C-alpha cells in the first residue's frame, strides 16, 4: 500500500502554513502507511548547502556534529530536530564535510540542497510529523510518504523521500522490477546509492537524466521507457514539482488545483483540509502523463 502526498504553493501568502497543511495530509494517510513516514520541505534558501543528517539519536548526532566542526575547523549554522540535524555547509565546503561523515559511520546524509530538508523516521505519521515540528515549517512546496512495509523491513532507511541529487527528492507508491540492473547502470554513471531500495533507484534515475540535461518533465517522460514496474511518483526539485503514474495506473492518485496551490494525494481524503478545496478542480491524473509545475 503506502500513501503519498505533495503540495506546491502558488500563493506566497500560504508559505508559512506549508508544514501545517502537509502535516494534516500525512496524518490522513496513516491508514495507508502506519509503519514509517517522511517528508521533504523546500524552505528558505541557505547561504551554501543545507545538509540533512540523521543519527541514531539526538545526543549521538549532536556529538558527531560537534566533532565534525572541531575536526574541520568550521563553525556551522545548524538546526537540530530530534534524530535529524540540518547543517549549512559554506560554499565549496560540502565535499569535505561529506568526506568526514563518510569516514564516521552511524551518521547518514539524508539529502542536501540549497532549499530542501528531509526528515523520515519509523512510527505513525502524526508522531513523525510532531517529532520534527513539521507544522511549524514554512516553504514553497513539499512531498511526503507514509509507508506500509510489504517486502523489506520497517527501518528508517526504507522510508521515503529518497534524495540522490541536490534539491531533488522522490516519493514512490508501487514497486519496480528492474531496479537491480538499473542501479548497476547508474553506478557506472557515477551515482551512489545508500540502500537496496527500488525507489532510491527511481530517484537516482531522474537525477542522472537531469544531470545529463533533461528537464524534470523530460526525465520523467524518459522513465516511462526505462523503468519497469508499478509506480506513482511525486517528485520535488528546487523550483519544481511533478507527478507521474505508470501506463496502467496501478496505484491510486488524485490531484486538486486552485489559484493558490496544486496538491497530490493517494486519496482525496488527504486533500480535504486544504484551504479552498471546495472550489478546487479535482481530477485524477492520466496514466503515463507527466504533470509538472515550476515556480515562475
Phi then psi dihedrals of residue 195, to 5 deg? -135, 175
| Pick 57 or 278: Cβ nearer another protein | 278
**In degrees to the nearest 10, what's the CA dihedral of 225, 144, 50, 63?**
-120
Q: Is 283 in the site for another protein (CB under 8 A)?
A: yes
The residue annotated as part of the active site, out of 2, 126, 134, 253, is 2
**Nearer to another protein by C-beta: 120 or 251?**
251
Please, is 69 exposed, middle or buried when counting C-beta atoms within 10 Å of its C-beta (0-12, 13-18, 19+)? Answer: middle
Of 90 and 273, CB closest to another protein: 273
Stretch touching another protein by CB under 8 A, among 136-144, 178-186, 194-202, 279-287: 279-287
Query: What is d(CA 44, CA 115) in angstroms, rounded to the nearest whole number?
Result: 6
Asked if residues 82 and 132 have their Cβ atoms less than 8 Å apart, the reply is yes
Q: Indicate the residue among 30 and 69 with the shorter CB distance to another protein.
A: 30
Q: Is 181 in the site for another protein (CB under 8 A)?
A: no
- What is the nearest approach in angstroms of another protein to the Cβ of residue 272? 4
Of the ranges 7-15, 39-47, 109-117, 265-273, which one interacts with another protein (CB under 8 A)? 265-273
The binder of another protein chosen from 230, 249, 258, 294 (CB under 8 A): 249
Q: Is 89 helix (H, G, I), strand (E, B) or coil?
A: strand
Contact between 257 and another protein per CB under 8 A: no
Among candidates 173, 225, 221, 181, which has minimal Cα distance to 199?
173
The number of residues that bind another protein (CB under 8 A) is 15
Q: Residue 225: which residues within 8 A CB-CB, separation 6 or more?
A: none
Distance from the Cα of residue 116 to its chain's centroid: 8
Q: Is 250 a catalytic residue?
A: no
Please identify which residue in 15, 257, 267, 294 interacts with another protein, judged by CB under 8 A. 267
- For 84, residues 6+ apart whose C-beta sits below 8 A from its C-beta are 52, 53, 54, 55, 61, 110, 119, 132
272 binds another protein (CB under 8 A): yes
Closer residue to another protein, CB minimum distance, 82 or 267? 267
Binding footprint of another protein on the chain (CB under 8 A): 248-249, 252, 254, 267-272, 282-284, 286-287
Question: Where in the sequence numbering do the catalytic residues fall?
Answer: 2
Amino acid at each position: 500500500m503506502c500513501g503519498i502526498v505533495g503540495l506546491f504553493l502558488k500563493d506566497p501568502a500560504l508559505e508559512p502554513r506549508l508544514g501545517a497543511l502537509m502535516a494534516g495530509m500525512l496524518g490522513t494517510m496513516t491508514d495507508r502507511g502506519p509503519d514509517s513516514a517522511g517528508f521533504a520541505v523546500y524552505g528558505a534558501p541557505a547561504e551554501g548547502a543545507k545538509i540533512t543528517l540523521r543519527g541514531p539519536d539526538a545526543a549521538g548526532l549532536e556529538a558527531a556534529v560537534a566533532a565534525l566542526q572541531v575536526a574541520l575547523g568550521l563553525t556551522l549554522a545548524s538546526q537540530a530536530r530530534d534524530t535529524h540535524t540540518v547543517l549549512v555547509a559554506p560554499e565549496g565546503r560540502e565535499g569535505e564535510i561529506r568526506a568526514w561523515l563518510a569516514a564516521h559511520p552511524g551518521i547518514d546524509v539524508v539529502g542536501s540542497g540549497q532549499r530542501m530538508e528531509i526528515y523520515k523516521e519509523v512510527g505513525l505519521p502524526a508522531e513523525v510529523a510532531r517529532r520534527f515540528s513539521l507544522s511549524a515549517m514554512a516553504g514553497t512546496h513539499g512531498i511526503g510518504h507514509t509507508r506500509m512495509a510489504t517486502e523489506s523491513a520497517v527501518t528508517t532507511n526504507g522510508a521515503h523521500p529518497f534524495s540522490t541529487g541536490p534539491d531533488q527528492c522522490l516519493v514512490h507508491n508501487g514497486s519496480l522490477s528492474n531496479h537491480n540492473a538499473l542501479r548497476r547502470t547508474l553506478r557506472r554513471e557515477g551515482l551512489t546509492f545508500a540502500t537496496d531500495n527500488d525507489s532510491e533507484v527511481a530517484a537516482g534515475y531522474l537525477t542522472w537524466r537531469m544531470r545529463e540535461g533533461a528537464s524534470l518533465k523530460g526525465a520523467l517522460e524518459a522513465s516511462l521507457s526505462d523503468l519497469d514496474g508499478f509506480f506513482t511518483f511525486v517528485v520535488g526539485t528546487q523550483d519544481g514539482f511533478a507527478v507521474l503514474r505508470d501506463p496502467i495506473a496501478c496505484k491510486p492518485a488524485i490531484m486538486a488545483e486552485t489559484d493558490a496551490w496544486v496538491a497530490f494525494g493517494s486519496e482525496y481524503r488527504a486533500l480535504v483540509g486544504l484551504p479552498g478545496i471546495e472550489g478546487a478542480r479535482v481530477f485524477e491524473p492520466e496514466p503515463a502523463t507527466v504533470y509538472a509545475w515550476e515556480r515562475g
